[in-house]
Amino acid sequence: MKKLLLLALSVLFSLQLFASPSNSLNRLTDETLRFEVEGRKINDNFYSPRRIINIPKVDSKFYLPKAIHIKTKSHLTKNKGASAELTPSIQSATQGLSLSKVRALFPKYSDYSLLSSDKNGIGRIYEITYVNPIDPYDVCRELMNNPDIEYASPVFVYYPFFMPNDPSISKQYYLTKMSAQDAWDISLGNPNVRIAIVDSGVDYTHPDLTANMAEGGYDFVGNVTANDVANNRWKEDSDPKPLNTSNFHGTHVTGCANAVTNNEVGIASIAANCKYIPIKCAADNGNIIGIYRGYEAIIYAAELGADIINCSWGGPGYSPAGEDAINQATDMGSVVVVASGNEGSNIDYEAAYPACYDNVICVGATSSSDKATAFSNYGHSVTVYAPGDGIYSTRNPDTYSSEQGTSMASPIVAGLAALVKSVFPNYTPRQIYHQIRSTSDDVFSVDKRPQF
């Protein structure tokens, strides 16, 4: 398998994931409008081929409720201004609508003196508005059988392209590298999609995190001492916020995945409108380094129904219980995203866990040059690579900092997975895995790609 960088979201979301012809066909339903478009004359001897057009039904917010566009096969009789008179057959077909208005959409081109310049027939396009509450898709489907009509379609509503107003977004080079804005034009994320951050705790009172916190946070470790840790004594509680500000890892990771976006504060995140569940698996004291009971926390997150579980931690110890936990969480419907590690090692030979388990999305790190960093672990076990060098994100208390590591790359992919889940809510963990991996960029030249 290739070593891949998480592809710019412009490819994943605006091209391959949501706009490819194959995916459009997959969305076809009985409500889809289908019609044939005649070929266009290219020159005196050639025409372009006929095309079959499919218009899948979209959410009603994207089209006007009582209006349609039609293109007639010949010009309609003009009334005063842009008003036009329908042919008898079209009048008959629309009599149940209680018509309000029929107007030429481009009245200038309905003038016979401009016929020679109207090569696309826009002078024959009319907007019909009506009173009765009949879905435009149904109206169009019926009118497509009318001999006087070339096509009929809803009047679609479009929205301005999204650009967050977060003042520090210019410091987040990785959003530009990944063309996150193109993805946000497709989806800002579903608030019902939740990312569990299994980490050192989260300062959920941070102004750029508080609004995206979901219920269910938990502390598996508590305010323990080094002696407590040595004796496996834990002080669980329901508050996943670390007491010590030196414990900032989980807060930084959370911002990478799910900082509140478009709130005029701080930074943006890929999974803008999704929610996170903070699960603390470290001591409050940041000087006591370690993630404890992480696999228990993974099952806890899966039981809460977390769609994505991020684990920006790992080590060399293989745990069959840990592997079983991850397999179980996957069977329960959670996508487990993990960091590959920061030793610059080929983990095909020097294994790290949970990076090397099955059923995880294992993430390596790249720099602003779109190449794997020197510190990132690599190997065939690494699923994808994402920005992990100089990542500007949230830090407690109420501040921000730039950090580096696969710990940062992993939650960026977790945020991406949440966005995929938002658009494809019925995708299984494996489908999300393959959707991300198959639309990723290769960050290794052939001569540097690890070999067995």
Q: Which residues are catalytic?
A: 199, 249, 407
Of the candidates 297, 446, 440, 435, the one whose C-alpha atom is nearest the C-alpha of residue 382 is: 440
| Tokens encoding 173 | 């080079």
Collapsed DSSP state (helix, strand, coil) of residue 264:
coil
Neighbouring CB atoms inside 10 A of 324's CB total 13
Of the candidates 280, 301, 308, the one whose C-alpha atom is nearest the C-alpha of residue 218 is: 280
Contact 235, 220 (CB under 8 A): no
Element (H, E) at 181: helix 180-184
Question: What's the first-to-final CA gap in the chain, in angstroms?
Answer: 11
Spatial distance between the Cα atoms of 181 and 296, rounded to a whole number of angstroms: 36
Spatial distance between the Cα atoms of 353 and 312, rounded to a whole number of angstroms: 11
> How many degrees, rounded to 5, is the angle at CA 409 between CA 407 and CA 413?
120
Element (H, E) at 129: strand 125-130
Contact 340, 362 (CB under 8 A): yes
- Total residues belonging to the chain: 452
**Phi and psi at residue 405, in whole multiples of 5°?**
140, 165
Strand 149-156 to 125-130 pairing: unpaired
Spatial distance between the Cα atoms of 310 and 1, rounded to a whole number of angstroms: 23
Q: Which residue has the tokens 């090692």?
A: 345
| Tokens encoding 391 | 């990542």
Q: Which residue has the tokens 């504060």?
A: 265
CA 422 vs CA 15, 22, 96, 259: distances in Å: 17, 19, 38, 16
Residue type for 180, please?
Answer: A
Collapsed DSSP state (helix, strand, coil) of residue 308:
strand
